[in-house]
C-alpha cells in the first residue's frame, strides 16, 4: 500500500478536537473516556501537548488550548492557499463579465478580499487584497450577515457600532433584518450605490459540502453599468462559478471553514 500514517500524531489531533466552546478544558480522565484511551496514555499526550505549547495547564490535571495554536493559527491564516486556487477562475470570470471580480473571506473587520481579478476597463473600481469591506451597505458584507448565525451577527454589529462611535437605531436594525431575510431567500446580495454612490456589486455565497458559507464571490464596478440585464446575468454566472469553487476547493483542500 501507500505510506502508513503516524498513529500518535492522529490521536493527538483527536485530542485537540475535543476542545470547543462547550468544552474549553479537559483532563486526562475526560480524554481517556471520550477517546477510549488508557488514562496513562491520555495523561502523556496531554503533557506532551503542553510541552509543545498546543495546550496549557489551567490547574492540576486540567488543560486548555495553548498559545502555540494561536500563533500557528495566525500564521496559517496569513499563508493559506485559497488565493492561488481561485485566481485563475476569477480571471476568466472577470474577462467574461468585463468587470472586476473578487473572493472574500470573513474576518472580524468585515469581509476581507483575498483574491481579485480586475476588469482592465479605463474607469473601474479598485480593491486590493487584504482590504476589509464594511458589513453595512456592501453586497459582500450584507451577504455574510445574512448567512451567519444570529448570535454572531448581533455581537458583530455591536462591535462595529462601538468602533464607529455610534449606537445603531432600532428602525435601522429592523430594516436590515428585512433586507437580510430577502438576501437569504434570493440567494444573493446586491449593492446599487448604497456604500459609495457610483459603485455597484452582486455577491453570492460559496458553500462547503455541508452547506455553510465559506467565502463570498462578487462582481463589482461602476453603477452605471449594472442594469437589470447585467445583474441578472452576473448573478447566474456567479452562482455557477461559486458551485465550482465550493466543490473543487473542498475536494482539493478538505472541509475548509473560512470562519
Site of interaction with DNA (CB under 7 A): 1-9, 11, 27-30, 37-41, 43-47, 60-62
129 is in the binding site of which of DNA, a copy of itself, none (Cβ under 5 to 8 A by kind)? none
Instruction: Measure the CA–CA gap between 15 and 19, rounded to whole angstroms.
Output: 8
Q: Which is nearer to DNA, 6 or 170 (CB)?
A: 6
Cell of 171: 428602525
Closest CB 22 distance from a copy of itself, rounded Å: 11
Closest CB 49 distance from a copy of itself, rounded Å: 7
Examine residue 61 and tell whether it contacts a copy of itself (CB under 8 A). Answer: no
Instruction: Measure the CA–CA gap between 153 and 174, rounded to whole angstroms.
Output: 14
Examine residue 49 and tell whether it contacts a copy of itself (CB under 8 A). Answer: yes
Q: Which is nearer to DNA, 7 or 130 (CB)?
A: 7
Instruction: Measure the CA–CA gap between 101 and 196, rounded to whole angstroms.
Output: 17
Instruction: Measure the CA–CA gap between 166 and 164, rounded to whole angstroms.
Output: 6
Question: How far is CA 57 from its chain centroid?
Answer: 30
Report CA torsion sign: 191, 195, 199, 204. Answer: negative
Question: How far is CA 67 from its chain centroid?
Answer: 22
1 is in the binding site of which of a copy of itself, DNA, none (Cβ under 5 to 8 A by kind)? DNA
Examine residue 66 and tell whether it contacts a copy of itself (CB under 8 A). Answer: yes
Which of positions 70-109 make contact with a copy of itself (CB under 8 A)? 70-81, 84, 107-109
Size of the residue set binding a copy of itself (CB under 8 A): 66
Instruction: Measure the CA–CA gap between 212 and 48, rounded to whole angstroms.
Output: 34
Q: What does the chain come to in residues?
A: 259
Smallest CA-to-CA distance from 55 within 215, 44, 186, 227 is with: 44
Closest CB 45 distance from DNA, rounded Å: 6
Closest CB 13 distance from DNA, rounded Å: 12
Instruction: Measure the CA–CA gap between 75 and 72, rounded to whole angstroms.
Output: 5
Which residues of this chain interact with a copy of itself, rule CB under 8 A? 3-6, 8-10, 12-13, 16, 19-21, 24, 40, 43-45, 47-49, 51-54, 56, 58, 64-81, 84, 107-110, 130-132, 134, 155, 159, 162-165, 253-257, 259
Amino acid at each position: 500500500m501507500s505510506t502508513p500514517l503516524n498513529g500518535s500524531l492522529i490521536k493527538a489531533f483527536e485530542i485537540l478536537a475535543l476542545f470547543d466552546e462547550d468544552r474549553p478544558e479537559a483532563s486526562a480522565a475526560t480524554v481517556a473516556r471520550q477517546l477510549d484511551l488508557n488514562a496513562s496514555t491520555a495523561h502523556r499526550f496531554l503533557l506532551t501537548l503542553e510541552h509543545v505549547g498546543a495546550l496549557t495547564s489551567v490547574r492540576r490535571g486540567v488543560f486548555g488550548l495553548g498559545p502555540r495554536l494561536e500563533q500557528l493559527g495566525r500564521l496559517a491564516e496569513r499563508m493559506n492557499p485559497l488565493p492561488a486556487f481561485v485566481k485563475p477562475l476569477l480571471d476568466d470570470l472577470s474577462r467574461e463579465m468585463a468587470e472586476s471580480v473578487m473572493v472574500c473571506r470573513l474576518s472580524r473587520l468585515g469581509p476581507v478580499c483575498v483574491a481579485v481579478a480586475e476588469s482592465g476597463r479605463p474607469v473601474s473600481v479598485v480593491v486590493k487584497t487584504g482590504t476589509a469591506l464594511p458589513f453595512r451597505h456592501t453586497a459582500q458584507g450584507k451577504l455574510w450577515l445574512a448567512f451567519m448565525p444570529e448570535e454572531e451577527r448581533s455581537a458583530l454589529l455591536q462591535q462595529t457600532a462601538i468602533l464607529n462611535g455610534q449606537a445603531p437605531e432600532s428602525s435601522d436594525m429592523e430594516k436590515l433584518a428585512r433586507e437580510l431575510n430577502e438576501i437569504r431567500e434570493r440567494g444573493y446580495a446586491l449593492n446599487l450605490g448604497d456604500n459609495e454612490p457610483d459603485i455597484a456589486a452582486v455577491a453570492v455565497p460559496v458553500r462547503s459540502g455541508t452547506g455553510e458559507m465559506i467565502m463570498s464571490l462578487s462582481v463589482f464596478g461602476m453603477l452605471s453599468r449594472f442594469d437589470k440585464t447585467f445583474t441578472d446575468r452576473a448573478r447566474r454566472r456567479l452562482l455557477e462559478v461559486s458551485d465550482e469553487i465550493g466543490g473543487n476547493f473542498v475536494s482539493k483542500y478538505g472541509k475548509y471553514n473560512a470562519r
